[in-house]
Chain A
Amino acid sequence: MSLKAEPWQTAEIAGPKKAFLILKPDVVVAMVKRAKRPLLVVGHLAAEAGSEYDNLIEYAIRMSKATGVPVVATAHTVKAFLQVGFQPAAHMSAMDIGNRLQDASWMGLDGLGPYDLALFTGLPYYMEFVILSALKHFSPSLTTMSLDRYYTPHATWSFPNLKIADWRESFEIIVNKLEGT
């Protein structure tokens, strides 16, 4: 796999403004720790058993428990969280959370103010691509980060295209460091 800023789906070329590469898991750890109001959006691929996204639900829960980052489960993903005894902060459609995040006046799920960092994972590549594009263009004060194993150019930060094993290893490091282990 390439460590270049190359979109996973070949034709999904973005720019001039493109995501910075997350070359080390520490970048994610630092960004999450630095954020005052982070949010984690988890799409339905996390709920697909036996797929490359195995363990994503577990990682999301561990991240949330370690840092307090609220989790928004899109589509029917909430069911997978509930099945392992975790209640996400909210469940709503990917379009709805994208729409709210691009609204600078939205005070968040808890009414305490706008988010400054939105992390995305588990959405279909092309859906995440366009939602992150909306946020890039219309939500200038929000930093976005794709935690998927593909380069997603409309995010502020994105992993490059990674092998599954490398991606899982990165996630493991991120979660462990956030947990302080």
Chain B
Amino acid sequence: MGERVLSKKDLNIKLKELKTDLGVFKDIEVSVGRIYDETWTEPLGPTPYPSITDLREWDFKILQRYKPFYMPFCDVCCLCTFGKCDLTGDKRGACGLDMAAQQSRIVLLACCIGAATHVAHARHLVEYLMEKNGRNSPLDVGGFNVDVEAPVIRLVCGIRPKTLKDLEDALDWCEGEVTNLLAVTHTGQEGSNLDFESKVLHAGMVDHVGLEIADIAQISAFNFPKADPYAPLAEIGWGTVDVTKPVILVIGHNVPSAVGIIDCLMDRGLDNTVEVVGICCTAHDMIRYSPQTTKIVGPISWQLRFIRSGLADLIVVDEQCIRADALVEAIKVKAPVIASSPQNCLGLKNRTKSPVKEIVSDLVEGKALGALILDPEKVGEVAVETVLAVAPKRKKFKIIPETEELIAASQKCTQCNECIRACPNNQPLPEAVKAAAVGDLNPLAEILETCVGCARCDSACPIDLPLHSFMVKAGEKSLAEEKFKIRVGRGAIQDVEIREVGGPIVLGEIPGVVALVGCANYPHGGKEVAEIAEEFALRKYIVIASGCAAMSIAMVKDDEGKTLYEKYPGSFNAGGIINVGSCVSNAHIAGVAIKIASIFAKRRLRGNYEEIADYVLNRVGAVGVAWGAMSQKAASIASGFWRLGIPVIVGPHGSKYRRMLLGRKDKTEDWTVYDARTGDQVYVGPTPEHLFTTAETKEEAIVMIAKLCMRANDTTKGRAIKLTHYIDLHKRLYGIMPDDVHLFVRSRADIPITMKTEVLTILEKKKWTERKIPDPTLLPRLIRTRRG
């Protein structure tokens, strides 16, 4: 028998009309303490709904090993009117804060922004879906294949949500924690950099709860693929867009308004008449909803090029990662804009309560350049009616110059270098414009291949040359050839899949899980992400992807014209390449690690964070890679992985997050764990060496991934497999044996058979001695027998 649990939150009942013997009552609202059946018999762990200090001890343990390396982006603090304060070196600001604490404070601010964004997104979705489908609408992320439906929420909050309304408690907690964390950043609060860092980790954990709430709510309510390894393939790429039709472009992360559009088209039988295409995560979620009728244009960096090309007749934006000048750019191509999120109103008049016909008329006649509509169904109606009327008038009006105009404009370039000095990737724009001036557009086209679409070059040009548009013109042929397939985001991983691979992962026989996530702020374009994915899929790691990275993986073809999603299975198994979905689907990646501890190892989840994180850190060889990480959301997602014991590698631009969490393999004392069998302290080598680091190049990232998959618990067979990959990749990409191999060999049985001679030579040189393989833990309370 389960126990009945009184939830912390009150239940609100609203009745429009109640007829009784006493009379008719209208608009009654009753609030009572919420009681719901709680049949979950798993005992509650020590930290359900943890406060900002409840997991501080765990944080300090990992921060002791992975110490912050601060790389200040700025020498001053300008957050209060005491300042600006110069914090250079050992100086302190007027409030007493030093540079280390200031940097960790800024990281905390970034993570609060990220967590708040995901939590607000989740709140919006849950409230919208409760209103649409009812508060008791069931959560279903995988039917009978998924019993652990919300691993992050179970672990962190200690509840097992069954319906949409059950998510409210978790949401309330998230919102409270984000508020507490943000308060910490006020002047005169926290003074210790390590306590700031602990709170950074807390923000990340809150973020992951927010992610999970958002995705399980939308999977359930919109009937997205439910943990489906065979989720269908959908189209991605500029060239897949049928530009002979009216085109609606959606941009952002919060899908209800896109769903409103798709539903309206379906209801009116217009789904073959109008193209609905998307950029960024709304596009991911849109194809999860309707893979046959919608398409993805590309990742975040495709926004400006697509808008300026004039191919979109109407642009609908929701929230997150949308260019702030989307409206300005849309006006230039005469495309109306509908803003559909309270988070992103763009200065537009709120037309939510206006009649549809009136809004449509204003947009079509140009009386309004856009409209704010905070009702997804109304967005659908307005968008469909507007695009049908606007498209024939616009005639795909664009602001991309013709070749002759481009050449003539390029001849005005003074070679002042302001464009290259503004370019984040130092692309040789002056030379490319010089070539364009004599009719050679190829250098501009080449730059577009790796352009992140920021258009800082445009802004920097003192004679206002639209350099980004120049690149789009130069690269128009290759843009039109962008026709790829992406596997629709499958959502969660099935429990049965975890049962099959949990053992091989924990024992090291599947050498690792590589999660390719995040934004598209790449140093050399998205192809590198696809190369990393294929390298590890071929080596029988499990590759799991989300967000813009999952799109970039799709946007490369082999010689036979196949994309990676067509070549590799979507199942969570060795050699699979899995797209879980949008940014909020990152929860399923954390969920995999948690479910391995729960389903495979039978560890208790419920409010038992520290033990599970200890398990993951020491046993689950997973590594996150955010090759183009850009946003504050990426920071908070990463910090959720750090607290859970999963290392994250960012691309070179990620160094601008200004703080890494680095291990020191040369410090033997940092790498001891308890042997849970005996209580002995045992050296386990740098496994994993870092919790957060930047890789300078793709090659470095590949070698680093293989290395960071090693865990203290690896069996000898598993360690030998992992070492084989690490050494092989190191030799191929660095041209030399790794100089730290002796730190990872614990016994002769760890040595890869085919590399025995080479490895033994190093071991001898390093005076290596054999050491034991413990049952590793950082938590003294998990020691089963104490010596003495």
Contact = CB atoms under 8 A, between A and B. Distances in A.
Contacts of A75: 695-697, 699-700
A80 to B, nearest CB: 8
A74 B75 CA distance: 26
Contacts of B739: 90-91
Contacts of A133: 71-73, 75
A96 interface: yes
Contacts of B89: 17, 136-138, 140
A124 B524 CA distance: 12
Given A76-B699, A130-B71, A130-B658, A140 B90 contact: yes
Interface in B412-440: 418, 421-422, 424, 426
A99 B660 contact: yes
Contacts of B58: none
Contacts of A79: 733-736
B8 interface: no
Contact of B700 (A76, A102, A136): A76
Contacts of B88: 16-17, 136-137
B476 interface: no
Interface stretch (A6-14, A20-28, A167-175): A6-14
Contacts of B697: 44, 75-76
Contact of A134 (B69, B74, B421, B736): B69
A138 B70 contact: yes
Interface string A132-155: 011011101000000000000000
Contacts of A94: 694, 696
Contact of B73 (A9, A127, A130): A130
Contact of A127 (B76, B664, B690, B694): B694
Given A17-B88, A76-B697, A130-B71, A8 B421 contact: yes
Nearest to A92: B739
Contacts of B460: 10
B694 A95 contact: yes
Contacts of B656: 126, 130
Contact of B71 (A17, A82, A98): A98
A93 B72 contact: no
A43 B697 CA distance: 10
Given A133-B73, A134-B71, A78 B421 contact: no
B638 interface: no
A61 interface: no
B625 to A, nearest CB: 14
B660 A95 contact: yes
A98 B74 CA distance: 17
Interface residues of B: mostly helix, strand, loop or mixed? mixed
Given A75-B700, A127-B652, A93 B693 contact: yes
A17 B91 CA distance: 12
B523 interface: yes
Nearest to B704: A93
Interface in B633-692: 652-653, 655-656, 658, 660, 662, 664, 666, 690
Interface in B723-758: 733-736, 739
Interface string A81-125: 011000000110111101110100000000000000000000111
A10 B699 contact: no
- Interface centre among B89, B424, B697, B704, by most A CB within 10 Å? B697
A134 B739 CA distance: 26
Contacts of B652: 124, 126-127
A14 B69 contact: no
B86 interface: yes
A10 B421 contact: yes
Contacts of A17: 75, 88-89
Nearest to B654: A127
Nearest to B693: A95
B735 A83 contact: yes
Contacts of B422: 9-11
A15 interface: yes
Contacts of B721: none
Contacts, number: 124
A161 B76 CA distance: 24
Given A93-B700, A136-B88, A124 B660 contact: no
B99 interface: yes
B86 A16 contact: yes
A17 B76 CA distance: 10
A52 to B, nearest CB: 9
Given A126-B653, A126-B655, A137 B426 contact: no
A131 interface: yes
A114 B666 CA distance: 15
A93 B696 contact: yes
Nearest to A90: B739
A155 B424 CA distance: 20
A160 to B, nearest CB: 13
A143 to B, nearest CB: 14
Contacts of A100: 664, 666
A11 B740 CA distance: 39
A44 B704 CA distance: 15
A96 B694 CA distance: 10
A9 B421 contact: yes
- Interface centre among B89, B421, B666, B739, by most A CB within 10 Å? B421
Contacts of B736: 78-79, 82, 91
A99 B735 contact: no
Contacts of B76: 15-16
B652 to A, nearest CB: 5
A83 B733 CA distance: 12
Given A98-B69, A125-B426, A134-B72, A43 B696 contact: yes
- Interface centre among A11, A16, A74, A133, by most B CB within 10 Å? A133
A156 to B, nearest CB: 12
Nearest to A1: B417
Given A75-B695, A75-B699, A131-B655, A91 B70 contact: no
Contacts of B664: 99-100
Nearest to A51: B428
Contacts of B74: 14
A124 B426 CA distance: 9
Contacts of A14: 74-75
Given A91-B736, A95-B693, A126 B658 contact: no
B700 A131 contact: no
Contacts of A44: 696-697, 699-700
A99 B69 contact: yes
A28 B697 CA distance: 28
A91 B696 CA distance: 13
Contacts of B70: 134, 137-138
A87 B460 CA distance: 43
Contacts of B426: 9, 124-125
Contacts of B733: 76, 79
B69 A16 contact: no
Given A10-B422, A76-B700, A79-B735, 4 more contacts: A10-B418, A16-B75, A75-B699, A99-B662
Interface of B: 69-76, 86-90, 99-100, 418, 421-422, 424, 426, 460, 523, 652-653, 655-656, 658, 660, 662, 664, 666, 690, 693-697, 699-700, 703-704, 733-736, 739
16 contacts: A43-B696, A75-B697, A75-B700, A78-B734, A79-B736, A91-B736, A93-B695, A93-B700, A94-B694, A95-B693, A124-B523, A124-B652, A127-B652, A130-B73, A136-B88, A137-B70
3 nearest A-B residue pairs (beta carbon): A79-B735, A130-B71, A76-B699
